[in-house]
């Protein structure tokens, strides 16, 4: 028995099993998961079209792309705590309504400023949806085996949405205007607004106390500057503004932790972070997303700029690895029921490392199957890691804290993605620039030389304006340099995955899911502890489940 301050975590006891209604409710919860993750990537191919119509400045274009992720990351902890207090279904339905309205506003935006504001509103709505869905899964599926399957399905939906976004975007842009990439959200959100109140019960923590507004502001001030600073360092290199933003974020984070230690009704249960199963699950998710996001950028550019694919064609091939790993999460959950979870998570990291190492042999003219199989291998391992990590974190979190626990998990995921883009992206870019230093054609104007030196896309554009042999030579050199950068990034990712596997075996071995019970409680006390969070039914709502 592992004692953590005033809470004791014990092996998970028998719990009511979910039935058809709960599994149908899970299908409803997957709708916002798909849409929120899709909105991360749906603008990848729409930017040239909206740029032509709205004429945003370079700074405005960056905000159009980034403000969604900034606001989403900054508000996750706040929305998780809010859902624990006002009810997770209520927060989910409110967020779905806001997401639908903001999608319509974005689709018909007549200026860059309006589109930025709409994307910010989408980030606010997305922050309400993500922790609510995962917390409701914790409440709907009390049986550990069933919850493992549900979380695996949820994890596949999240990763699938990121891959599906560019495919839908490319298909819609071939037939409709750029705003159509936002309107695909509205039918799914309308379905959620109809089915949610009928199928989803209401859950809230009756002992949560008043909402901690100062803590909420501190959490926002901690997350926003950190994510901004990491992304700016990745894009523009070392400079004062992002370093200052990181310093502000870290100071605000320290103040937030101090606030949570002293507040009468804290937003975040710091005792939960001291439990190995939870804190290490957050770390494992962060490392997995670090590799996913850091290498996905290279994969997309490789298909388009090295292999010369059209956007929709590249997006469709990009979707294939996601489809190939659909059963990996379920396989990982099945393995975790037969052997120590720490070993299974380590196995996932080892599989991912093998996929990244395989990609390190990639060349500009490698066969397409070589790229797709290697990507499927590393994606399989990381989906296994993330689904098991989410399941473990929810299993050790008390049900009444499921919203806050889900928000912390999602915050770790967002930070991992930002770090991956910053560190792996910077490594690949540095290798590319180093290779291109001696490959620039003589006589290039300074602006063109800078474009070639900075990015592969810039080199492709400049090569198109050079005479035959000179253009082909530049393009060949740029593609080789980019591939060298990709090889360096995936080798670094493979090294991180090996270290993560060692950490998983050393630190997660023997950690089991449990439920929180009062100190010295018996079986009856544990069962009461598992049900401390009272289901709430309102006249328009569904009957409580389980």
Provide the 3-class DSSP secondary structure of residue 11.
strand
Asked if 345 and 508 touch (Cβ cutoff 8 Å), the reply is: yes
Asked if 274 and 281 touch (Cβ cutoff 8 Å), the reply is: no
What the block records as the tokens of 433 is 């620039």
Asked if 143 and 383 touch (Cβ cutoff 8 Å), the reply is: no
pLDDT at residue 267 in the model: 73
pLDDT interval class at 41 (50, 70, 90):
low
Highest mean pLDDT: which range of 112-121, 124-133, 179-188 = 112-121
Whole-angstrom Cα distance, residue 362 to residue 417? 23
Asked if 42 and 179 touch (Cβ cutoff 8 Å), the reply is: no
pLDDT at residue 264 in the model: 77
What the block records as the tokens of 28 is 């409803």
**Of 170-174, 344-348, 477-481, 503-507, which range is least confident?**
170-174
Contacts of residue 408, defined as CB under 8 A and 6 or more positions apart, other chains included, come to 77, 80, 268, 272, 273, 278, 282
Cα–Cα separations (whole angstroms), residue 162 to 56, 190, 478, 525: 25, 21, 28, 42
- Cα torsion angle, 88, 90, 96, 102, sign: negative
Mean predicted confidence (pLDDT) in 516-524 = 35
Q: What is the pTM of this model?
A: 0.71
Q: Which contiguous run of DSSP H or E holds residue 516?
A: strand 514-517
pLDDT surpasses 60 at 526:
no
Asked if 516 and 398 touch (Cβ cutoff 8 Å), the reply is: yes
Place of tokens 């100062």: 214
Provide the 3-class DSSP secondary structure of residue 546.
coil
How confident is the model over 473-494, as pLDDT tens digits?
Answer: 888 888 888 888 889 999 999 9
Which residues, listed in sequence order, are joined to residue 11 by a DSSP beta bridge? 514
Provide the 3-class DSSP secondary structure of residue 202.
strand
The overall average pLDDT reported for the chain is 76
Considering the chain, what percentage of its residues have pLDDT values greater than 90?
8
pLDDT interval class at 519 (50, 70, 90):
very low
DSSP state of 203: E
Helices assigned H by DSSP within 87-109: 88-107
Whole-angstrom Cα distance, residue 348 to residue 328? 10
Mean predicted confidence (pLDDT) in 205-227 = 78
Provide the 3-class DSSP secondary structure of residue 515.
strand
Cα–Cα separations (whole angstroms), residue 321 to 306, 327, 493: 19, 12, 18
Using only C-alpha atoms, what is the Rg of the chain? Answer: 23
Q: Which of 307, 302, 349, 293 is nearest to 485 (CA)?
A: 302
How confident is the model over 71-108, as pLDDT tens digits?
Answer: 887 788 888 778 878 888 888 899 889 988 998 999 89
How confident is the model over 238-256, as pLDDT tens digits?
Answer: 788 888 988 998 898 888 8
Asked if 220 and 75 touch (Cβ cutoff 8 Å), the reply is: yes
Q: In what order do the strands lie in the sheet with 2-4?
A: 2-4, 7-11, 514-517
Q: Which residue has the higher pLDDT, 54 or 297?
A: 54
Asked if 428 and 86 touch (Cβ cutoff 8 Å), the reply is: no
pLDDT surpasses 80 at 142:
no
Asked if 89 and 136 touch (Cβ cutoff 8 Å), the reply is: yes
DSSP state of 466: S
DSSP state of 4: E
Angle at which helices 185-199 and 88-107 cross, to 10°: 160
How confident is the model over 382-402, as pLDDT tens digits?
Answer: 888 888 887 787 777 766 666
**Of 136-145, 162-171, 219-228, 422-431, which range is least confident?**
162-171
């Amino acid at each position: 028995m592992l004692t953590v301050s005033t809470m004791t975590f014990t092996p998970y006891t028998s719990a009511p099993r979910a039935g058809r209604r709960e599994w149908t409710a899970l299908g409803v919860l997957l709708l916002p998961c798909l849409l929120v993750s899709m909105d991360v990537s749906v603008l990848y191919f729409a930017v040239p079209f909206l740029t032509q119509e709205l004429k945003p400045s370079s700074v405005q274009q960056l905000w159009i792309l980034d403000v969604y992720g900034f606001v989403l990351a900054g508000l996750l902890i706040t929305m998780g705590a809010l859902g624990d207090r006002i009810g997770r279904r209520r927060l989910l339905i409110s967020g779905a309504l806001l997401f639908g309205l903001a999608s319509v506003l974005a689709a018909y935006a007549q200026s860059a400023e309006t589109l930025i504001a709409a994307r910010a509103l989408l980030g606010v709505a997305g922050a309400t949806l993500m922790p609510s869905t995962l917390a409701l899964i914790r409440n709907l599926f009390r049986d550990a085996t069933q919850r493992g399957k549900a979380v695996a399905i949820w994890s596949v939906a999240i990763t699938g949405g990121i891959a599906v976004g560019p495919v839908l975007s490319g298909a819609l842009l071939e037939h409709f205007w750029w705003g159509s990439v936002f309107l695909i959200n509205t039918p799914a959100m309308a379905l959620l607004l109809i089915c949610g109140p009928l199928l989803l019960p209401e859950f809230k923590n009756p002992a949560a106390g008043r909402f901690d507004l100062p803590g909420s502001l501190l959490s926002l001030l901690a997350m926003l500057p950190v994510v901004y600073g990491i992304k700016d360092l990745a894009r523009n290199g070392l400079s004062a503004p992002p370093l200052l933003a990181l310093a502000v974020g870290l100071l605000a984070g320290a103040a937030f932790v101090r606030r949570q230690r002293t507040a009468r009704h804290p937003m975040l249960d710091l005792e939960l972070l001291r439990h190995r199963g939870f804190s290490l699950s957050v770390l494992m998710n962060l490392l997995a997303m670090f590799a996913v996001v850091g290498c996905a950028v290279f994969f997309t550019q490789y298909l388009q700029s090295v292999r010369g694919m059209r956007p929709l064609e590249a997006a469709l091939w990009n979707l294939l690895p996601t489809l190939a790993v659909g059963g990996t999460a379920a396989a990982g959950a099945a393995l975790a029921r037969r052997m120590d979870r720490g070993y299974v998570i380590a196995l996932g990291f080892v599989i991912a490392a093998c996929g990244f190492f395989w990609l390190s042999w990639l060349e500009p003219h490698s066969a397409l199957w070589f790229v797709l199989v290697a990507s499927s291998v590393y994606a399989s391992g990381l989906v296994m890691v993330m689904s098991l990590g989410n399941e473990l974190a929810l299993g050790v979190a008390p049900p009444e804290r499921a919203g806050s626990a889900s928000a912390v998990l999602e915050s770790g995921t967002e930070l991992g993605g930002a770090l991956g883009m910053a560190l792996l992206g910077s490594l690949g870019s540095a290798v590319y620039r180093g290779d291109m230093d001696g490959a620039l054609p003589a006589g290039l104007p300074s602006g063109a030389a800078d474009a070639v030196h900075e990015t592969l896309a810039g080199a492709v554009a400049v090569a198109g304006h050079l005479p035959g042999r000179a253009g082909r030579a530049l393009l060949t050199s740029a593609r080789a340099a980019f591939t060298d950068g990709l090889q360096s990034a995936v080798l670094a990712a493979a090294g991180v995955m090996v270290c993560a596997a060692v950490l998983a075996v050393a630190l997660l071995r023997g950690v089991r899911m449990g439920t929180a019970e009062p100190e010295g409680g018996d079986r009856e006390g544990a069962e009461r502890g598992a049900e401390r969070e009272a289901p709430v039914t309102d006249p328009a709502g569904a009957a409580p489940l389980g």
